Structure 1
Amino acid sequence: MTAFADVAVTAHVVVDHPSAVHHAATLAKDAARAAGLAEATVERAAVLTTELAENLLRHAVEGAMYVQRHGEKGGLDIIAADRGPGIASPDRAMADGYSTTGTLGSGMGAAQRLADELTLRTLPGVGTLICARFHAPGTAPAATDLGLVCLPLRGEELCGDSAAVVDAPGGRTAAVVDGLGHGAEAAGASAEAVRVFRENPHGPLPELLMTMDRALRGSRGAAVSLLRLRPGAVEHCGVGNVRLLLVGHDGIAARDTGQPGVVGWNMPRPRARTLPMPEDSAAVLHSDGIAPRWADSAPPFLLGLPPRLLAAALGHGHRSARDDATALVSGAARRNT
């Protein structure tokens, strides 16, 4: 199964004005059609986006919507994120007719019915994250333990970052690529690196990086981080400043950064490193558009988020204003029992 290959740019709408609600719904409809969803599902995605965005506008502080396609005709995530005040009674909020303002608003109960999957986490005083997932017909659903945002520099349409994930019997292999700089040349370099990744995602990671290095010569070049997850362990091989962190409920279990250099320019001979990875942890790969200090004092609420929400939380709360930003989060590989 391939998930999140051919990554599309994450659409992002700050919900600070009534017009943002319509804008978010339009982006969701466009993305749903591009993801190959049936027209009835396209309409469901638009209605759900409207509901979530209106809730942000009425109730939330610093609310935003994120729309992320899983890949070419592979499904869709619609994510609402805010910085508070949080939902005091999330179980009650999921019931039809519940409202904190006395309005009719079927609210989260309607959202749960509209989505194929819905994940919600909230903490009063901190904020709320909601991910509604839609599956494309005739395709395998995206893995439940996988999350991604791929955000261009504000004001840019193209993103110089990219990512891809492939699942196979031998384990999950993931790539996050940060083309140097931003704009069209950076996007071209990262797209070429992902093309090479897709051609042989199951080979030895150092060899895959060397193939990328040859393919990117003459381009802008890129930082690249490759990850292979197997039960109980993760293999990491990277060049440049894409970071790996292993995250558990009780803190950051491990950190690793790629070797100095640029893939396509002055890449050293790559080396792979294997780290132990508990089953209840998650691997986070992110470009330097996500401020690395997020991990220095990460609160338990953030560390305990499921992958699809943790990726969004990093993009929402820790994104740099000066660069493209990508966060890919994968759960640990499971042992067959």
Structure 2
Amino acid sequence: MTLPPAAHPTAYVPVDHYSAVHLAAQTARSVAQRRGLQGALPDQAAVIASELGSNLAKHAVDGALYVQELPLGNGVEIIAADRGPGMREFRRCLADGYTTTETLGAGIGGVNRIATSFTVRTHEPGGTVACARLTPPEDADAGRRAIGSVCLPAEREEVSGDACAVAETGQGLTAIVVDGLGHGPPAAEAAQLALRTFARAPDQPLPALLTGLHRALRHSRGAAVGLLRLHAGRAQYCGIGNVRCVTLTQQDVRHRLTGQPGVVGLEMPHPVVRDLPWEPHFTALLHSDGIDHRWAHSPDPFLVRLPAPLLAAALMHGHRRSRDDATVLAANLHQRLS
């Protein structure tokens, strides 16, 4: 059984000025140290964040970095997202020494060399999403898993009332997204209590998991909860409240589901599992209502083709409701990152 690391919200660093690059490097080093990465890895994480941040500062519009621990496995990831103008000479940019400005050109090529995995998608004029993951050598396979999440608090809030986690057991991959009622510390306490309860027995049948969460949250603010389980050739969703489940191919969105009415911990109906038709190339995701659900009604073709970790970041970057806590968790069992 593989359980998730301790849940921390994503560190969000908007790169609206070159001064943000130093903050990005400090943030990446801090996250790597918190995760317990040893030796040169924290400094390498700082270099990756600095290079991606510098690229945003020089070339991008509305660029930001998202820095966090990996959803599964021991490592960190640094994701850069922007709204344009896209990378014209993408393949050349991946080579060390290539530059479009009068710099040393270590940038994207240097990130590609240092990172355990580095995945980039770009289109003109809509922008670029890049995900660099850094792991110890023994966890390199985890760094290539196509599982990604981003979790941010509402603007002017220090803690997030949302939370998410992934667990891998004999029953398959099980994901949870929790949206604590309201904002601030009481919502965050409910969300973190839900994650601790989930981590104790993530391999239970989904209705039993939700029932256990309901009991655990009875003296809390309460929460909306979405559970997703992916097996070989099968997917199941079970949710209460406004956590949405979406499945998609590289062409379009296939299914859009929302949870049953109720609040976990306060008033909850008998949980119902919904089986989803499933094919190996499908990507599944859960998101809280901090993401505008209208993205799935007519999705950008660029968006639906993104690998799961980039999809999570792109949804957060382009469709977040900043006045609410927001979480996206996406997974594809058959993809591997480069």
TM-score by length of 1: 0.95
1:223 matched residue in structure 2: 224
2:312 aligned partner: 311
Using the alignment, how far apart are the partners of 2:117 and 2:311 within structure 1? 16
Cα separation, 2, equivalents of 1:72 and 1:117? 14
Task: Find the aligned partners of 1:68 and 1:296 in 2 and give their Cα distance.
Answer: 29
Q: Is the 8 A contact 2:120 2:131 kept in 1?
A: yes
* Of 308-317 and 133-142, the range deviating more from structure 2: 133-142
Q: 2:72 and 2:261 mapped to 1: Cα distance?
A: 33
1:284 and 1:73, CA in 2 relative to 1: closer, same or farther beyond 3 A? Answer: closer
Q: Distance in 2 between matches of 1:74 and 1:41?
A: 12
**Alpha-carbon offset, residue 232 of structure 1:** 2.0
The yes-or-no answer on 1:196 pairing with 2:214 is no
- State the match for 1:133 in structure 2: 133
Aligned to 1:36: 36
Structure 1, unmatched stretches of 5+, are none
Query: Matches of 1:3 and 1:303 in 2, distance apart?
Result: 28
**Aligned partner of 1:154: which letter?**
E
Other-structure match for 2:240: 239
Aligned to 1:87: 87
Residue pair 1:185, 1:219 contacting (<8 A) in 2 also: yes
Range with bigger deviation, 86-95 or 324-333? 324-333
What are structure 2's unaligned runs of at least 5 residues?
none
**CA distance in 2 between partners of 1:279 and 1:327 (Å):** 21
Partner in structure 2 of residue 256 of structure 1: 257
CA shift at 1:169, angstroms?
Answer: 3.1
**Structure 1 residues 47-92: Cα deviation after superposition (integer angstroms, max 9, x where no partner):** 1111110110010000001101126982101011100000012111
C-alpha displacement of 1:7: 2.0
8 Å contact from structure 1 (residues 8, 71) kept in 2: no
1:205-238, CA deviations, whole angstroms, 9 ceiling, x for partnerless residues?
1111011111101210000011111122211110
- CA–CA distance in structure 1, aligned partners of residues 234 and 10 of structure 2: 30
For residues 180 and 278 of structure 2, what CA distance do their matches in structure 1 show? 28
CA–CA distance in structure 2, aligned partners of residues 137 and 188 of structure 1: 35
Contact 2:4 2:199 in 1 (8 A): no
Q: Which residue pairs with 1:17 in the alignment?
A: 17
How much does 1:3 deviate? 5.7
The answer to whether the Cα contact below 8 Å between 1:4 and 1:164 also exists between their aligned partners in 2 is yes
Deviations 1:83-122 (Å, cap 9, x if unpaired)? 0000012111111221122433222111111111111111
2:97 counterpart letter in structure 1: G
| Aligned sequence identity (%) | 51
Where 2:40 maps in the other structure, the secondary structure is helix
Q: Which position in structure 1 is the counterpart of 2:185?
A: 184
C-alpha displacement of 1:171 = 1.1
Q: Which residue is equivalent to 1:278?
A: 279
**SS across alignment from 1:84:** coil
User: Match of 1:53?
Assistant: 53
Separation in 1, partners of 2:73, 2:110: 25
Judging changes above 3 Å, is the alpha-carbon distance between structure 1 residues 298 and 4 closer, same or farther for their aligned structure 2 residues?
farther
Q: Which moved more, 1:106-115 or 1:285-294?
A: 106-115
Distance in 2 between the 1:141 and 1:37 partners? 14
Q: Which residue of 1 aligns with 2:161?
A: 160
Mean Cα deviation higher: 56-65 or 136-145: 136-145
SS of 1:147's equivalent in the other structure is: strand
Q: Tell me the secondary structure at the aligned position of residue 305 of structure 1.
A: coil
Identify if the C-alpha distance between structure 1 residues 136 and 111 changes in structure 2 by more than 3 Å, giving closer, same or farther.
Answer: same
CA distance in 2 between counterparts of 1:46 and 1:333 reads: 30
**Residues matched between the structures, number:** 334
AA matched with 1:36: G
Q: Contact 1:245–1:254 (CA<8 Å) still a contact in 2?
A: yes
Runs of 4+ aligned structure 1 residues displaced above 6 Å come to none
Deviation at 1:309, TM superposition (A): 0.4
Superposition RMSD in Å: 1.7
What is the SS of the residue equivalent to 1:2?
Answer: coil
